[in-house]
Structure 1
Amino acid sequence: MIQLKDLTKKFDTGKTVLTAVDNVNLSIDDGEIFGIIGYSGAGKSTLIRLLNGLEKPSSGTVDVNGQKITAIKGADLRKARQKVSMIFQHFNLLWSRTVQENIEFPLEIAGVPKAKRESRVKELVELVGLAGRENAYPSQLSGGQKQRVGIARSLANDPEVLLCDEATSALDPETTDAILDLLVDINKRLGLTIVLITHEMHVIRKICHRVAVMEGGKVVELGDVLTIFRSPKKDITKRFVAQVTETEDSTATIKHLRELYPTGELVKLIFVGEQTEQPILTKLIRNYPVEVNIVQGDISHTQRGAYGTLILQLKGSKQEIADAILFLKQEKVQTEVMAND
């Protein structure tokens, strides 16, 4: 388990004191994929560097599996860092070394004999899907392959925690999804705790169990990913959720439909978990005398279950529409009447 208690990091710029991390308290469970999301300057990169001792806090403590990272130094800190590994946005590979040599590098530093190094590299190359590319140099690899090398290298010393610093930000969407799938597979196979920082809600939605939202150095919202998607509380969290639940096209469609059907109501429904599989719309159409037009729909899958949004246009009398909306709420579907602009 990772525990952060009253963690604060300040930087003295000479003219002023900048608080990058402001009294953060978090607990991250063993085997969890935990996301930290925030825009540039939120403090998330500083926070992740505090986790492995690359930065020392101004106050507070970092405890990783019973060991206080903030209280050790020298050889003990270097040993502890072997159990808290890290992958980076820009891969940080050694360009004069092959794939095999890059993966071997931390084992060399740790003094592992050559035969054991080669055996370990073979396992890791298979794990990350790079069999046959052992003798290639980074310049001969795609972005996704480079990140796979980075992941394999980070696993060389059998870490207990893997930190991912914007690990997919430099990749195209398809490659990003492949790398995220690999991280989920590694998490399940090895039981590895993964802490991932990002500014992309798609990444959080796809692989994280829980998420902390950072703004101005503080954790402003924390919870299960599915719960955060269903009912974000802070404005910044709502903006992040909107990254993957709303599009410009839907906004234009809503405006167009309001012009076409000025007497109807546009209603946004949110389905969570088992609700996404229930025939709720069928019941609505059969039992209520309203005209139902589907404007837009989407179902996304998180590690905790499915999350779906649906925008309907309901036409009928005010009472008929009110009865239909009441039915939806009674079915425990989160229902929002979209106000006319």
Structure 2
Amino acid sequence: MIHLSNVSKTFQLKGQSLDAVKDVDLHIEKGEIFGVVGYSGAGKSTLVRLLNLLEKPTNGTVKIADYEMLKLSNRELKRARQEISMIFQHFNLLWSRTVRENIAFPLEIAGVSKAERYEKVAELAKLVGLEGREDSYPSQLSGGQKQRVGIARALANEPKVLLCDEATSALDPKTTNAILDLLHDINQRLGLTIVLITHEMNVIQKICSRVAVMEDGSVVEQGNVLEVFRHPQEEITKSFVKQLTDPEDSNQAIEEQLEQEKGTVVRLTFFGDDAEKPVVSELIRACNVTVNILQGNIANTQDGSYGSLFVSIEGDAAQLNEAIEFLQDHQVEAEVISRA
């Protein structure tokens, strides 16, 4: 569906070259929700603008559906862009127009009759949960409602691809979850291919099937979300994963445990169905050890759960070795953080 091959983008700024995107190769399947995550300045927003040629690549090829984007004439590019919609962090609504008029704007530009436009608007307003708010102005809406208008407007021309550039970054956590649920529902209903650009790993975790991690203009790691969670290769990926799996106060709890000089602190990592099993209680019975739970968290991805748990295990050396073997036999990764 979307193929990027050796795509680079270099900007010339005050006589100096800035490599914003470097030799990126990506393949995104039709109907997939694909995430691109990176910190500020990683190049992810530039990358998404290369997909619809809002920025033209310095090198490489971009193919979306049947379009070889760099070979299109201006007229062909305009037609292709009708199939590649985009939503933004700050909504980009027309503040002097109502919800109805904002959603209808792309159809107006396309020359669709007023009756057909408003029929389509009614359908889209219902789809995104804005039924009854069609005559409101953006200033009368919450942040989540504004983004719903942006999503409805992006769907007006029945695109094949939806690009989301930090679409939830301006929203509170509850509203973010609601918008992500809406995007997932739209993906399921319409079979839309969605590319999500974000700096928040919880956004990736919630609805993406695969992810690419960007740093300094390059894609440094990519793959199935659960597998990336399970075996992060790069330090930046590990830091993103820890945002979800290691609570902020876990280090404090571990330090307190070390000060008390009790037990051996072990970090347990669970994957898939194993995250839901009562492994700790089974461990206590099987190995006759005392287990004190310090901190833990479970993150759910589209392909299963990923859990992280810090525990203190009290017992002699033989019991500890038996406990570690027991955990490994039950497909639980066990990393000894500190020994008593």
TM-score by length of 1: 0.97
1:322: which partner in 2? 321
Cα separation, 2, equivalents of 1:87 and 1:268: 39
| 8 Å CA contact retained: 2:5, 2:62 | yes
Q: 1:75, CA displacement in angstroms?
A: 1.1
RMSD: 1.2
Corresponding residue for residue 306 of structure 2: 307
Change (3 A) 1:304 1:199: same
What is the CA distance between 1:308 and its match in structure 2? 1.2
Report the alpha carbon displacement of residue 177 of structure 1 after superposing the two structures with TM. 0.7
CA distance in 2, matches of 1:173, 1:46: 25
The Cα offsets for residues 252-291 of structure 1, whole Å up to 9 and x where unpaired, read as: 111111112x141111111111112323223211110211
Query: Which residue number in structure 2 is paired with residue 205 of structure 1?
Result: 205
Query: Which letter maps to 2:183?
Result: L
Q: Quick one: which amino acid aligns to residue 286 of structure 1?
A: R
2:71 and 2:162 map into 1 onto residues whose CA distance is 21
Q: Is the 2:246–2:297 contact (alpha carbons within 8 Å) kept by the matching residues of 1?
A: no
The letter of the residue matching 1:298 is N
- The question of 1:238 aligning with 2:242 is answered no
User: Which residue in the other structure is 1:19 paired with?
Assistant: 19
Paired residues of 2:296 and 2:307 also in contact (CA < 8 A) = yes
Q: Which runs of 4+ in 1 moved over 6 A?
A: none
**Does residue 106 in structure 1 map to residue 123 in structure 2?**
no
**Shift, 1:73, TM fit:** 3.0
Gaps of 5+ in 2: none
- 1:309 partner SS: strand
Alpha-carbon distance in 1 for matches of 2:248, 2:331: 28
Q: Distance in 2 between matches of 1:339 and 1:31?
A: 45
**1:340 Cα deviation after fit:** 6.6
Shift of 1:112: 0.9
Give yes or no for contact 2:247–2:295 (8 Å, CA) kept in 1.
Answer: no
Are 2:178 and 1:187 equivalent residues in the alignment? no
Aligned to 1:95: 95
Task: For 1:239 and 1:278, locate their aligned partners in 2 and report how far apart those are by CA, in whole Å.
Answer: 26
Question: For residues 282 and 312 of structure 2, what CA distance do their matches in structure 1 show?
Answer: 16
In 1, Cα distance between the equivalents of 2:286 and 2:329?
14
Deviation, structure 1 residue 72? 1.1
Within 2, Cα distance between the matches of 1:101 and 1:121? 9
Give the deviation of 1:143 after TM superposition: 0.4
Does 2:46 match 1:43? no
CA deviation string 1:298-339 (max 9, x = no partner): 222111111111111100101110110011112111111114
- Write the letter of the residue equivalent to 2:85: S
- Asked if the contact 2:34–2:195 (Cα under 8 Å) also holds between the matched residues in 1, the reply is yes
CA distance in 1, matches of 2:326, 2:15: 60
Which whole-Å deviations, capped at 9, do the CAs of 1:102-127 have from their partners, x for residues lacking one? 00000000111111111110110000
Question: 1 CA distance for matches of 2:224 and 2:82?
Answer: 29
Letter matched to residue 207 of structure 1: I
Q: State the partner residue of 1:140.
A: 140
SS at match of 1:248: coil
Name the residue aligned to 1:150.
Answer: 150
Alignment partners' CA distance in 1, 2:105 and 2:52:
19
Partner Cα distance (1:247, 1:272) in 2: 18
TM-score (norm 2): 0.98
What is the match of residue 292 of structure 1? 291
Q: Identity of counterpart residues, as a percentage?
A: 59
The code of the aligned residue for 1:214 comes to: M
Residue type of the alignment partner of 2:312: Q
Q: Distance in 1 between matches of 2:118 and 2:191?
A: 23
The one-letter code matched in structure 2 to 1:213 is: V
Aligned amino acid, residue 189 of structure 2:
R
In structure 2, C-alpha distance between the alignment counterparts of 1:340 and 1:161, rounded to whole Å: 52
Match of residue 79 from structure 1: 79
- Equivalent position of 2:177 in the other structure: 177
Q: Which runs of 5+ in 1 are unaligned?
A: none
Alignment of structure 1 residues 114-125 onto 2, 5 Å: 114-125=114-125
